[in-house]
Amino acid sequence: MLYAAGHNFTAPVDLPEMAPLIRMGKLIIPDEYVDPFNSRPAFRQTPLVVAVQGYCYTLGIEAMLAADIATAADPRFSELEVKRGIMATGGATIRMVERSGWGNAMRYLVTGEEFDAETALRLNFVQEIVELGEQLNRALEIAQQISGQAPLVVRQTIISARLAVDEGSAAAVALCKDI
């Protein structure tokens, strides 16, 4: 589970302070913690459910897109690095295109334009919109449902899906034959 206790998921984030760390390869998340950005091998093999609300900008969008399932309540999204002259380096340029296609992603990546929950749902950035105050409860319900499944099969499902995205369906099929 990944969620914010305050009114906003990720605002304000000090982009000029974060960008140089990312460019230098310095870890924002120490090795002993789960990497919500799923940006370093070995990639996460357990599902991450995220609950967002309020401002969900920059690194917040990138963490949300790296999660497996996202619920959202009254969010305001913007991948606004372009407005600050900073390259988005947390995965948005990859995952937004994967989820929504080139034109849909470029509209928001190169303009920094803000968008709402309905747009995020249409673009496959979030899986469910809920009433404000219910985002964490709903995300917990989903996480509990997942935890009731066979853990090894959940893990292999994530591995297979990641392999299909990264290396193609033939690689995922070959993996399933070996199981």
Q: Under a CB-based contact definition with an 8 Å cutoff, are residues 139 and 71 in contact?
A: yes
pTM (2 d.p.): 0.87
Average pLDDT over residues 28-39: 74
In this predicted model, what pLDDT tens digit does every residue of 85-100 receive, in sequence order?
Answer: 888 877 899 999 999 9
Q: Which among 36, 29, 41 has a CA at the least distance from the CA of 52?
A: 36
pLDDT value, residue 25: 65
Strands of 69-78's sheet, edge to edge? Answer: 2-3, 49-57, 69-78, 128-129
- Asked whether the predicted pLDDT for residue 150 surpasses 90, the reply is yes
pLDDT value, residue 73: 97
In this predicted model, what pLDDT tens digit does every residue of 39-74 receive, in sequence order?
Answer: 766 678 889 999 999 999 988 999 999 999 999 999
Q: Which residues neighbour 66 within 8 Å (Cβ) at sequence distance 6 or greater?
A: 36, 37, 38, 39, 48, 91, 95
Q: Under a CB-based contact definition with an 8 Å cutoff, are residues 72 and 128 in contact?
A: yes
